[in-house]
């Protein structure tokens, strides 16, 4: 599933493709639903609206119009791109009075689209924690929250109520960079370790965004390019391979049904 760096790269490439102020001319829905049914009267409500901005919150793309916020979650295989030729999985088509036509393609249909009045807070955002690259995410905040949590560090960081947008790949990579064992209990963190962890998370995310994200299977951004950060993984997907720091084998364990990659020598 695309995580924060991948969604951010989709956002950046969409902003390059679509001029600010483009007005919706026609919205075509080629099926009634994806993961959930499309919002009622979506096409009618968006027709004539100007697209003012494309933002991101956690793993959601946020399309802002004059009246609405339209949220798009990519699921596992969803992608936005400029229309070149019709394909069987082009489920949503956005035509604008000027500029390109955008299409949303989601073969496995785990993504979804929701529509909200700008005067309301989208329900998806109510319980989200701070953005990890924002000034609201800092060592003292993470340390204070960790005092109340007896969960493993891996699960602690995947909790979207604590920090928004992190997923399995970048939590594994950040914990390695911070030198922290994924199974350690969050409440055992020291403040100095929280400082190290916050810096590691932000460092990894910035590197991944600059590299276009990670393409594990079929992820591509809106201009059709694959990510390159997977070539720099230190632990993720490298079980049995030698750690690039200590040369000991990378280990794979299962935590809460998810694969966790880590180095027993470098992470304590």
Tens-place pLDDT, residues 44-83: 999 999 999 999 999 999 999 999 999 999 998 899 998 8
Mean pLDDT value across residues 136-151: 97
Residues 143 and 257 both lie in one domain: yes
**Quick check: is 180 in a domain?**
yes
**pLDDT at 157 exceeding the cut of 90:** yes
**Quick check: is 181 in a domain?**
yes
Angle at 56 between CA 208 and CA 168, to 5 degrees: 45
CA-to-CA dists, residue 216 to 3, 33, 174, angstroms: 11, 26, 18
**Quick check: is 242 in a domain?**
yes
**pLDDT at 88 exceeding the cut of 60:** no
Residues 36 and 60 both lie in one domain: yes
The pLDDT value recorded for residue 89 is 53
Residues 145 and 258 both lie in one domain: yes
- Euclidean distance between CA atoms 266 and 246, whole angstroms: 7
87 or 17, greater pLDDT: 17
Residues 145 and 113 both lie in one domain: no
Q: Last residue of some domain: 125, 158, 192?
A: 125
Catalytic residue at 2? yes
Q: Which domain holds residue 80?
A: 4-125
**Percentage of residues in the chain having pLDDT higher than 90:** 86
Residues 167 and 97 both lie in one domain: no
Mean pLDDT value across residues 104-131: 93
The pLDDT value recorded for residue 252 is 97
**Quick check: is 134 in a domain?**
no
- Euclidean distance between CA atoms 51 and 67, whole angstroms: 10
**Quick check: is 15 in a domain?**
yes
The pLDDT value recorded for residue 218 is 79
Residues 251 and 153 both lie in one domain: yes
- pLDDT confidence tier of residue 13, bands split at 50, 70 and 90: very high
Catalytic residue at 66? no
Find the catalytic residue in 67, 184, 185, 258.
258
**pLDDT at 85 exceeding the cut of 80:** no
Find the catalytic residue in 3, 8, 173, 193.
3
The pLDDT value recorded for residue 90 is 78
Query: What mean pLDDT is reported for the chain?
Result: 94
Exposed/middle/buried for residue 120 (C-beta within 10 Å: 0-12, 13-18, 19+): exposed
What is this structure's pTM? 0.93
Contact predicate 128/164, CB 8 Å: yes
Q: How many CB atoms lie within 10 A of CB 2?
A: 27
CATH number of the domain bearing residue 13:
3.20.190.10
Find the catalytic residue in 45, 56, 59, 81.
59
Mean pLDDT value across residues 229-250: 97
- Euclidean distance between CA atoms 22 and 47, whole angstroms: 11
Catalytic residue at 122? no
Domain count along the chain = 2
- Euclidean distance between CA atoms 216 and 224, whole angstroms: 15
Residues 40 and 100 both lie in one domain: yes
């Amino acid at each position: 599933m695309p995580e924060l760096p991948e969604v951010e790269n989709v956002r950046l490439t969409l902003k390059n493709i679509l001029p600010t102020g483009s007005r919706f001319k026609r919205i075509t829905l080629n099926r009634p639903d994806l993961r959930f049914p499309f919002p009622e009267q979506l096409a009618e409500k968006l027709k004539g609206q100007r697209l003012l901005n494309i933002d991101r919150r956690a793993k959601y793309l946020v399309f802002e119009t004059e009246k609405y916020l339209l949220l798009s979650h990519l699921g596992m295989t969803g992608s936005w791109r400029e229309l070149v030729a019709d394909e069987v999985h082009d489920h949503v088509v956005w035509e604008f009075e000027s500029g390109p036509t955008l299409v949303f393609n989601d073969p496995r249909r785990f993504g979804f689209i929701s529509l909200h009045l700008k005067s309301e807070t989208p329900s998806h955002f109510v319980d989200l924690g701070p953005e990890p690259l924002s000034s609201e995410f800092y060592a003292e905040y993470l340390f204070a929250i960790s005092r109340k949590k007896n969960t493993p560090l891996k699960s602690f960081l995947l909790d979207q109520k604590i920090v928004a947008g992190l997923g399995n790949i970048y939590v594994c990579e950040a914990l390695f960079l911070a030198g922290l064992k994924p199974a350690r209990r969050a409440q055992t963190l020291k403040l100095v370790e929280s400082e190290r962890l916050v810096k590691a998370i932000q460092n990894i995310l910035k590197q991944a965004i600059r590299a276009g994200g990670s393409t594990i299977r079929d992820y591509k951004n809106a201009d059709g390019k694959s990510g390159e950060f997977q070539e720099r993984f230190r632990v993720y997907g490298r079980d049995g391979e030698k750690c690039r720091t200590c040369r000991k084998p990378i280990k794979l364990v299962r935590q809460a049904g998810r694969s966790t990659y880590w180095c027993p020598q470098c992470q304590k």
